[in-house]
Structures are given as structure tokens and as C-alpha cells.
Chain A
Amino acid sequence: MFAQVGDELIIEGHEVGRPRRVGRVEEVRGDDGGPPYTVRWDDTGRATLLFPGSDCRVVHLTDTPSGTEE
């Protein structure tokens, strides 16, 4: 997995009552954009370290459709 600061990280919920989680990459600690990442979670506002699993996807800054950025 590759990520850079500012990318969005999404973890899909697999169980009933466990919603998807969305966060923003604040720090990339691995080599060449690899994990672990410091992620600030939208729902709690707090940051944790994340070693992402295969249920996690990255939305890169450059993936944002044109015209939607301010």
C-alpha cells in the first residue's frame, strides 16, 4: 500500500453496527509511502497509528475529481 500525507484512508465496516471509518493521513512512517501511517479519524478527531489491512483503501489527493477542490 502506498499513501502520502493528506490522502484519505477508508476502512469498510464488515460487521453489522460497525460503520466504515474514514481518516486522513498525517504522517507516513514506512519507506516509499508504506505503512504504518498516522491517521486522524474523522469520527473521533484523534490520531492513531495504523497498519492497514486489505480492507483498507487509500484515496489519493490526485484521485479527487477536478473541480471539487476548493
Chain B
Amino acid sequence: MKISELALREPVMIGGDATVADAAALMASSGVGSVIVLDGKTPVGIVTDRDIVTRGVARSYPPDGRIDGLMSMGLIAVDADHDLADLVHVFRDHAIRRIPIIDHDRVIGVVSLDDIVVHVTDELSTVSRVLAGQIMFPHATDEARAPSPD
């Protein structure tokens, strides 16, 4: 399965010179837990709600301080035409929880580790329903296909 087939969330981005309060407000209004930080048009980092708490609030970083002071620097990204398995490898190799997805060098979405868990759970649920049907009605398809004795 290609990454592009996942239901990607729109990337939410903010300039590095925005304030922490601006970023928090953007997260709240967009219903996301992270924003990609830009330097001009180039992504340079990512900030999560947890970063704001642990690097900001816990260390008395001012709400009007620049958001790039709290961000995780650098972004590991993956092309949208890669397989989902590649994405899982990247999550594992880099110990990160969110990966921007790129199409023609543009960020088109962000996939979180939670998204992968939800996707895999959905797939398992589908397989489980098929399996349950086969267990409950083991010969249903055989009978349907069996030739008539007449």
C-alpha cells in the first residue's frame, strides 16, 4: 500500500518567528497536536503540544517567545509514493512520532504513529470479520457452490 492512499491530514505550518502563543492557538483551532515550523517557505522543524509543555511551560519559556526556540530541529520526511512499510521503518529508525509526507517537494500531509495504529487496527478488524464469518458459517460457500443432485 502506498502512503498516498492513507487519509493524510493537512499539514499545519507556522513561521519560525511566530510566538508560542500563536502556535498553541493554531494547534487549538486546527485540532492538531503539532505544527511544522517554516523558515520562509522551507520546513526546518516541528513543534508538538508536548514540546510546548515540557520545553516551554516547564522551563518558564515566555508565551511571546519565538516558537522556533522550542521546536525539534530538522524534519525527516518521506515521499508519498513510498510504501507504508517504508514509513514504519522510518518511525522505528528515527524514533519519531510524526512524519511529513512530501509530493514534488511540497509537504502534503503529516502521518503520526497513531495514524498507523488506527490503519492497522482497521485492517485487522476487516480480516477479523471475514474470519468470524468463515468460523460461524464454515460450509456456506461450499454449499452454495455444490452441484445440485438433480
Determine if B79 and A49 form an interchain contact, defined as CB atoms under 8 angstroms apart: yes
Residue of B whose beta carbon sits closest to that of A31: B105
The interface residues of chain B, by DSSP majority, are classed as strand
Count of A residues near B, CB < 8 Å? 20
Given contacts A41-B93, A55-B73, A49 and B44 within 8 Å (CB-CB): no
Q: Does B102 contact A (CB under 8 A)?
A: yes
Q: Which residues of chain A from 17 to 70 have any CB-CB distance to chain B below 8 Å in the complex? A: 18, 29-30, 34-36, 41, 43-44, 46, 48-56
Q: Tell me which residues across on chain A come within 8 A of B79, comparing CB atoms.
A: 49
Q: Which 7 A-B pairs have the closest CB atoms?
A: A53-B73, A53-B74, A49-B77, A51-B75, A44-B93, A51-B43, A55-B73
| Interface of A toward B, CB cutoff 8 Å | 11, 18, 29-30, 34-36, 41, 43-44, 46, 48-56
- Interchain Cβ contacts under 8 Å between A and B, 6 examples: A30-B42, A34-B42, A51-B44, A52-B74, A53-B71, A55-B73
User: B: which residues have CB within 8 A of A?
Assistant: 42-45, 71-79, 89-90, 93-95, 100, 102, 105
